[in-house]
Amino acid sequence: MWKGRFSQATADLVQQYGESISYDWRLFPHDIAGSIAHARAQMKSGLLTEDEFSKIESGLKEIEEEIAAGKFEFSIELEDIHMNIESALTQKIGAAGAKLHTARSRNDQVATDTRLYCRSAIDSILELISHLQDALLGRADAHAGTVFPGYTHLQRGQPVTVGHHFLAYVEMLSRDKERLIDARKRVNISPLGSGALAGSTINLDREAIAKELGFDGVTTNSMDAISDRDYIAEILFTLALCGGHLSRLSEDLILWCSSEFGFATLSDAHTTGSSLMPQKKNPDVCELTRGKTGRLYGNLISLLTAIKGLPLTYNRDLQEDKEPLFDSIDTMTLALRVNTEMIAAMKINVEACETAASDPLLLATDLADWLVKEGIPFRSAHELVGKAVAASVMQKIPLDKLDLTQVDSAFTADASSVFSLTKALAARTNPGAPSVENVKAQIARWRKT
Q: Is the pLDDT of residue 7 over 80?
A: no
Strand, coil or helix: what is 72? coil
pLDDT for the residue 9: 86
CATH topology match: 12-102 vs 107-355: no
pLDDT for the residue 272: 96
Residue scoring higher pLDDT (8 or 200): 200
Is 58 catalytic? The answer is no
Q: Is the pLDDT of residue 209 over 90?
A: yes
- Domain ranges for the chain: 12-102, 107-355, 359-448
pLDDT for the residue 170: 98
Q: Is the pLDDT of residue 319 over 80?
A: yes
pLDDT-based confidence at residue 3 (cuts at 50, 70, 90):
low
Residue of 153, 259, 275, 409 with catalytic role: 153
pLDDT for the residue 8: 83
pLDDT for the residue 64: 98
Answer whether 102's CB lies under 8 Å from 48's CB: no
The CATH architecture to which 12-102 belongs is Orthogonal Bundle (1.10)
Q: Is the pLDDT of residue 1 over 80?
A: no
pLDDT for the residue 321: 97
The residues near 289 (Cβ < 8 Å, ≥ 6 apart) are: 243, 246, 247, 249, 250, 335, 338, 339
Query: Each residue of 79-109: pLDDT tens digit?
Result: 999 999 999 999 999 999 999 999 999 999 9
Q: How far apart are CA 150 and CA 353, in angstroms?
A: 11
Q: Is the pLDDT of residue 5 over 80?
A: no
Summary mean pLDDT of the chain: 96
Residue of 22, 258, 267, 274 with catalytic role: 274
Q: Is the pLDDT of residue 2 over 70?
A: no
94-100 contacts at long range (C-beta below 8 A, 24 or more positions apart): 94/55, 96/48, 96/52, 96/55, 96/56, 97/55, 97/56, 97/59, 99/42, 99/47, 99/48, 99/52, 99/56, 100/35, 100/38, 100/39, 100/42, 100/56
For residue 184, give the amino acid letter: R
Is 30 catalytic? The answer is no
Strand, coil or helix: what is 189? strand
pLDDT for the residue 184: 98
**Check whether domain 107-355 has CATH 1.20.200.10, yes or no:** yes
Fold of 359-448: Ribonucleotide Reductase Protein R1; domain 1 (1.10.40)
Query: Each residue of 246-270: pLDDT tens digit?
Result: 999 999 999 999 999 999 999 999 9
pLDDT for the residue 363: 97
Rounded average pLDDT over 165-185: 98
Rounded average pLDDT over 171-191: 98
Query: Each residue of 16-50: pLDDT tens digit?
Result: 999 999 999 999 999 999 999 999 999 999 999 99
